[in-house]
Structure 1
Amino acid sequence: MKEIRSQKSQIEDVRRDDIFSKVLKNDKVGRVRMYVFGVTPYVAWGEIPNRSSAYLLIEGYKEAFKKMEKQVQEQGEVIAKMKLDMQSTQHATNSTSLRATQYSQNGDVHSFNDSAHIQVGTKVSVKSVLDSIKIMAIGYVQSMDPTHMTGNYPLGPNWCSVHISIPVNWEEHLIRLYSTLTTIGHAIGTYVAWPQALVSIF
């Protein structure tokens, strides 16, 4: 035992094939030397699977690995779909922002005869950028000052800040996004910036 130990750089832990077992050979069936009476190899060292058990164990690992591969694939598909949805949402938002900017730059305040009479506190209907006939929400005007901050940005000319009281089309995208707010439904009870040309007295 001393000769074998001198050939090793590290001292081995006590286990089934340690130096003691190599020198004194295998224990008697059902017994483990130097342990108290009643200690079996299974208790001391744990179960050593036979060929059949090892095969079943490997098959179990293969099955678990297949499940993991399938889960990773499904997660990849979900992530890819989320990316596509985000790109579609961003595209729609950019489109609505562009059309709203065109409304403001063109000064198309004649779309609604009563737009010139809108003042702070006026109850108004908010129209869709994609279809100026459709009402997206009902609310009231908070400010029409171009320097007024709404969502950390100034309104700018021909825009107004509207408090969304009653959403009509919950899925309509906001023209300007505010942190987690992306749709009319998200903005209920808050203020959003909207072109004056798309706001009319209700």
Structure 2
Amino acid sequence: MELFVACFSKDGIAKNVEAANAIEQMLDLNFQLPEGSLDEPGPNDVFSKVMGKDKHGSARMYGLGVRGSDIWGVLPSRSACYRENMLWKRAYKDVRNEVAELKAMVGDVVHLKSIINSMEIMARGRVKSLDPDELAGGEEIGPNWCEVHVLVAIRRREHLVRPYGLFITIEDAIGATIAWPCPFTVVVHDGD
């Protein structure tokens, strides 16, 4: 309110009739406030009651690009909440589908791809677990990793992503279980 009065009046005289009416209404509302209370800037302050709610999320009298949510944490509109809700539902559905696909891999025979060159296949194995709390080499495999029982080494001298104990290379891990990143495993289909 003070900024509006300072901008639209000089020495107590309003610059135009509309400004004079607005200033008079603001002063009347300000005098009606309970004793000792202040008109704190916000979406329901004296200025907003006279001039109307801010349009399109902007905060009037705060400069270009300043939004009400930047200052007051104004709740988003109903349509914004709906859009955000739909985005969260879509993300949840994508994650749920991804998890369902990963769980379908347990027990499947997979190729372990190189993390340096995803076109190279390091070994063939069987997925034993996708549980991030499962241990491989005494360490939890973690999210987006799987525990794989190595069946055949294709690039025998390649180093494991997570070596442990005496298991340093793919060849060392034949017959053992190792941790391998899920994005670098591909299910082997009949004929592969």
Range into which the TM-score falls when normalised by the shorter chain: 0.3 to 0.5
Between Structure 1 and Structure 2, the one with more helix by share is 1
Per the normalisation by structure 1, the TM-score is 0.42
Q: Taking structure 2 as the reference length, what is the TM-score of the superposition?
A: 0.44
Greater relative contact order (CA < 8 Å, ≥ 6 in sequence):
1
Q: Kindly name which structure, 1 or 2, has the bigger radius of gyration based on alpha carbons.
A: 1
